[in-house]
Every structure is written in structure tokens, then in C-alpha cells.
Amino acid sequence: MYAAQHAIEHPDQAAFIMASTGESVSYREFEGRSNQLAHLLVEHGLRPLDHYSIFMENNNRYFESCGAGERSGTYYTCINSYLTADEMAYIVNNSESQVVITSAAKLPLIVEAMPSFDNVSLILVVGGAPAGSDERIRDYATAIADQPTTAIDNEVLGTSMLYSSGTTGQPKGIIRPLPEQAPAQNLPIFDFLANLWQYRDGMIYLSPAPLYHSAPQAAVNLTIRQGGTAIIMERFDPLEYLQLIEKYQVTHSQLVPTMFSRMLKLPVAEREQSDLSSLEFAVHAAAPCPVQVKEQMIEWWGPIIHEYYGATEGLGFSACNSQEWLAHKGTVGKIVLGEVFVADDEMNEMPAGVPGTLWFKSGTEFQYHNDPDKTAESTSGDGTMTTVNDVGYVDEDNFLYLTDRKTFMIISGGVNIYPQETENLLITHPKVADAAVFGVPNVDLGEEVKAVVQPLDGVVGDAALAQELIEFCGQHLSRQKVPRSIDFDPELPRLPTGKLYKRVLRDRYWGEGQNKIV
């Protein structure tokens, strides 16, 4: 998030606006604050290739917290703001962070984790630090107040080092090499994304997702580098999202399929009350979109919808517009960066249309931070390809279809079952708000298919609904994919980014007690 030239050319234009308050931060203000924090980090001893972390909810200081790193050659790690103290401390330590930037709302978790921090010598608190606290804890605004608003000496490009969501195991840091270059020159992967998403001068971008996640990180970063204005929602609300498009004449946005589903389940009168005609380009990613949901969105929003797939590691990208998707239903797009190789467990190439593990010839170089074993595990024997264990296939026209994560595969009676298709179907049922499908122990078969469903508000999750949903699945799926049983949960552990913590649900059934959800 580097905006030095825009701060000169149009200093009074809004770099971003906070949706809930309407607070507008100009390019002049944004550039000055980013420089002040960069000076403080350098004064505190951080040098190029050093690390710091950001752990807070969406707020008006988030972007400068990233922008300071992009001009000081450092790696900044944006931590999932929904993590517990122990989970957050793991990432702070694993990333070797020397400074943590947090908020007053998240400070109690930081204080709880502080005894386990290895390298942290400074904690900056947006919104005020309590009097008499640990000497490492300082009020953010006070700490940067006396620093210059001009650029630091010898500016050099820095970048984010984000962590995987940890939905299938311990989060892993993804680190890219940093060339010694001026911060005005972006990394090639981000120039590619700006092109792919058709970013342009004067664009208005609406960000409905948490800023710690890779997609909004990249999208807002590129909006500011392009000289556009970003509208930042503190949290997603489907009706407010639609109203903001009309209010700010939004041109670009990026969502996850869960957000599509929640908008579609609004009453039709509410859904249609906002003018969405300014919207030019809507990207969705993070998880495969159920076919039925995508069809309804295209019917509503038309050709502006674009789907893309790209692992956090940037191994390769595929993308398609709505017309291409309608011709290849279920696809996530044509391969546009990196060469894909679909293989079985012995690395034999699978024929077109046959699922296997997806391997990419890397679109960008990366490693798992401080984890050479994991890096090696995800790299092919000849070192030319990498994988994140996604499963899918490529058709004759080079369009990619995602089946599921290899980690979530169910083996029942020797048959491999990927649960994504069943989840996609369940989410379309009018009484279902969310759904998770996974394998649970079965004495005879090894595993059986289990569904955990979050009913819509006002809908009772009982035996009658479970039977209704099982019969619904049976009408549309082959027998082995139909859940043998369905439990109910008032809220599934899904992040605002759209990622489902399926591991948390699955562990409840595979643990010692094998407790059912009530």
C-alpha cells in the first residue's frame, strides 16, 4: 500500500472510507501516517527483511500499518483477528515478529499472550493503551506523533507474509523473496492481479471482508496503488453491502460464496431496493461457489461476475467471466498463470476430466517460513512444481474444476468421496444457512458421510428437518454422497473470509469422546 505519487497528484482524494462512520482518509493523510510509522519502525531497530505483526479488527489505522512495511523493506504479517491468544502467539513467534500492532479491543488477548512472546519488544495499540501497563505497550497515535511525515531514507519495497487459515492444521507462513527495489515498483504477481481484475484509475472498491485475509489485502493494496478509493466494511452485512454500492457508486468488489448466499436469502424487496448499475467487476474466490448459487447470482448481476482460483502461495491462477462459467459449469476458470499438472498419488498424470491432486508450475516463488520440511513436502521431486493438496481436474479446453481438498476426502468402504458437492447442494436448501460435510467413524466402512447444518434463523433443527435434508440430497446425489446422518449447530465455525474450520467440527467426532453436536 504505497501511495507517494498519488499523495502529490491528488492529495485531497479519499484513499479509503470507513463504511460504518463515513470517516474519510485522504491520500495526503495516508501517506503521512505511513511514513510516520515507517520512521518509528526504523528507529526501533527494524531493518529490511525483518518482521512485524498486525492483530486487529478492520479499522482506520490498518492500511498505514501495512503501508509502513511496504516502504521499509520489512515483512508484515496480518493475523486473523478471530484467533485465541495461544493461536495468535504461535504466529507472532513463528513469524519472528519484533513489533505487534493491535487495537484496544484486541489488547486483552495480547496481554494474555505476552509471556510467551519470543522477540516482541514493542506493542502499539490503536485506540489507546491503558495507564500503568507493561513498558512495551504504547499508544499508537502518541508513538508516531513526533515522527516525520516525509519518507524514510533509502526506501525499499516490503510486502506481506500471510499465514494459511489453519483449517486443516497449524497455520503456515508463506514468504516470498523480496528484491531490492523501490516501493513504487510492485512485485510482478500483484501487477498480474491488477490486470486480471481490471483495476483502473478512478475506481471505487468495496471491501466487505476482514483485512487480514490475502484477497482483500491484495485488492485494497492495488486500489490504493492505482489511485482509487476503497470503502471498508468493518463486518459484512448483506443489506448494508448492497446499499453501499449505490451510496458510493462502487465499481469493483470482491466477495466469497457465503456472501452471495446471504444476499440471495434476503427478502426480494430488500435485495432489489439498491441501484447496482455502477458495479463493473465483481470477483469471488476463497472457496468453490455452488453451481446453483452462481447461476442465481449471474441471473441477478449479469456478466460482471468473475471467478478466480489462486492458492495463497500464488502457485498458479485460473479465472473466468460469467459467460465462460455458464459454458463450463462448476469450473473456477481457465488457467491464466502457471501450468497445471493433475496427478494421482504416484505422480502419474491424470487424463482430462479425471480428478487428482493439483500441482502447479509456480507462478511466483515462495517458501513456508521456517518450515523446510513442509516446503519440501509441497514441492515435486524435480523441484519444478508445488501443491497445496487441492483436488480437481482440467477439461479439454484447459478449464479447471475444483473437487475438494485432499485433506477432507472421505474413504467409505474403499470409495473416495469428496464432500464439497454435498455441501454445495445443502446450502441451496431454503431452510439451510450453512453446511459442513465430512467423514466420521464407521465400524464396517471405516468412515461414513456426516453433515452438520446451521438452520436459517427461526428454523428448528430436529429429526424431521434432518430427514427432509437427507431425502433432498438423495434426489440429487449418488447414494454414497448422501449423508447417513445430520446434526445441527446454531453457528458453524466459518471465518468471515468464507473459510470453514471443518477440522474443528471433525475433531468433535474423532476425539476420545466422539461427542455429537447438540
**pLDDT (tens digit per residue) in 313-353:** 555 778 899 999 999 988 888 888 778 899 988 899 999 99
- Cα atoms in the 13 Å half-sphere on the side-chain side of 240: 14
The DSSP secondary-structure symbol of 114 reads G
Domain CATH number, residue 473: 3.30.300.30
Question: 109, 79 in Cβ contact below 8 A?
Answer: no
Q: Do residues 11 and 3 make contact, with C-beta atoms less than 8 angstroms apart?
A: no
- 3-class secondary-structure state, position 503: helix
Backbone angles phi, psi at 266, to 5 degrees: -70, 150
Asked if the model's pLDDT at residue 131 lies above 60, the reply is yes
Structural domain includes residue 206 = no
Which has the higher per-residue pLDDT, 375 or 122?
122
CA pair distance 136, 115, nearest whole angstrom: 12
C-alpha to C-alpha distance for 201 and 292, rounded to whole angstroms: 34
CB 329 within 8 A of CB 285: no
What pLDDT shows up at residue 515? 36
Q: Report how far apart the first and last C-alpha atoms of the chain are (Å, whole number).
A: 45
DSSP 218-266: HHHHHHHHHT-EEEE-SS--HHHHHHHHHHHT--EEEE-HHHHHHHHTS
Q: What per-residue confidence (pLDDT) applies to 501?
A: 76
Say how far apart CA 394 and CA 389 lie, in whole Å. 15
In a domain, 156, yes or no: yes
- In the predicted model, is pLDDT for residue 55 greater than 90? yes
What SS3 state is found at 467?
helix
Q: What is the pLDDT of residues 261-292, one digit of tens each?
A: 889 989 999 999 999 999 999 998 766 677 88
What's the rounded mean pLDDT across residues 127-153? Answer: 92
- 381 inside domain: no
pLDDT above 70 (res 87): yes
The domain boundary, picked from 185, 214, 231, lies at 185
What is the pTM for the complete model shown?
Answer: 0.82
Which of 170, 185, 200 is where one domain is finished?
185
What local confidence, expressed as pLDDT, does residue 513 receive?
Answer: 35
Task: Please give the Cα distance from 453 to 94 (Å, whole number).
Answer: 35
The residue among 60 and 495 whose pLDDT is bigger is 60
Q: Is the Cβ–Cβ distance between 317 and 363 less than 8 Å? A: yes
Q: Distance between CA 426 and CA 143 in Å, rounded?
A: 51
Nearest to 12 by CA among 31, 33, 27, 22: 27
Structural domain boundaries, residue 497:
417-510
Out of 165, 185, 205, pick the residue that ends a domain: 185
pLDDT band of residue 96 (cuts 50, 70, 90) is: very high
On whether residue 105 sits in a domain, the answer given is yes
Give the tens place of pLDDT for each residue, 160-190: 998 876 555 578 898 988 999 999 998 888 8
Contacts of 1 (CB under 8 A, 6+ apart): 34, 63, 64, 66, 67, 70, 220, 221, 224, 225
Q: What CATH number is attached to the domain comprising 111?
A: 3.40.50.980
The total number of structural domains in the chain stands at 2
Average pLDDT over residues 145-170: 86
- Asked if residue 104 is part of any domain, the answer here is yes
Q: Domain for residue 299, yes or no?
A: no
Q: What's residue 312's pLDDT?
A: 56
Q: Tell whether 120 is covered by a domain.
A: yes
Q: Is residue 388 part of a domain?
A: no
| CA neighbor of 44 nearest in space, from 100, 110, 127 | 100
pLDDT in tens, 97-123: 999 999 999 999 999 999 999 999 999
User: Would you place residue 258 in the very low, low, confident or very high pLDDT band (cuts 50, 70, 90)?
Assistant: confident
